[in-house]
A and B are shown apart, each in its own frame.
Chain A
Amino acid sequence: KQEVTQIPAALSVPEGENLVLNCSFTDSAIYNLQWFRQDPGKGLTSLLLIQSSQREQTSGRLNASLDKSSGRSTLYIAASQPGDSATYLCAVRGLGGSEKLVFGKGTKLTVNP
């Protein structure tokens, strides 16, 4: 059974700092991995999706990497801003045609002005 773990559970940084969020998964047989952002009481916004054959994806100040063999992914946020404050969720989709996603508990990020 796939399990997804995110470390740390919470992170507080000053504005402008570069930071890394970590995600690990127990079963490396994945189809893709996705990073989401969730604001309090809101739904999910997809940030980056990495296919199993890819090593990284970039969008603006965000860069996500994937090391499938070791079951790890990182989300790098450059020059953090107060508007980046949110919970970041990692989710993996397994092989076999199912679209089911298994989520981690998330990392709550606070960027202080």
Chain B
Amino acid sequence: GAVVSQHPSRVICKSGTSVKIECRSLDFQATTMFWYRQFPKQSLMLMATSNEGSKATYEQGVEKDKFLINHASLTLSTLTVTSAHPEDSSFYICSASDGGTQYFGPGTRLLVL
């Protein structure tokens, strides 16, 4: 149980395009979902926290207009990287919480050319 999926697992895009990443909790309802970013040899950095039906809470330094988060249901959250640039290339990981424990997705590798 407690499986979290992410789609796509890998994406390559041109600079200036937008990319959408989906995070799904497959067998439980997630009250809260979290989006992290991980640069090479760095720790996971929390980008934002999203609760179903409400606006996401962004961490300091994360541009909310660039990283759009939608949490439309208790099993799905999406992260859209708008007008992506090479510096946005990173590993994006989501997690879903059942109210007590965070379960992590497999991650999405984004490469912006």
Where chain B touches its partner, the secondary structure class is strand
Confirm or deny: A61 has a beta carbon within 8 angstroms of a beta carbon on chain B: no
Q: Are B42 and A44 in contact (CB under 8 A)?
A: no
Q: Chain A contact residues (Cβ within 8 angstroms of B): what range?
A: 10 to 19
In the bound complex, CA of A46 to CA of B91 (Å): 18
Contact of A89 among B43, B91, B102, B105 (CB under 8 A): B43
- The answer to the question of B67 belonging to the interface, with a C-beta cut-off of 8 Å to chain A, is no
Majority-rule SS of A interface residues: strand
**Is B109 a contact partner of A41 (Cβ separation < 8 A)?**
yes
Contact A106 B46 (CB under 8 A): no
Map CB proximity to B onto A70-111 as digits: 1 under 8 Å, 0 otherwise: 000000000000000000010100000001111111100000
**19 sample A-B contacts, Cβ–Cβ < 8 Å, listed by A number:** A36-B104, A41-B107, A42-B107, A43-B4, A43-B93, A43-B104, A44-B44, A44-B93, A44-B95, A44-B104, A46-B101, A46-B104, A99-B32, A99-B49, A99-B102, A100-B49, A102-B46, A103-B43, A103-B44
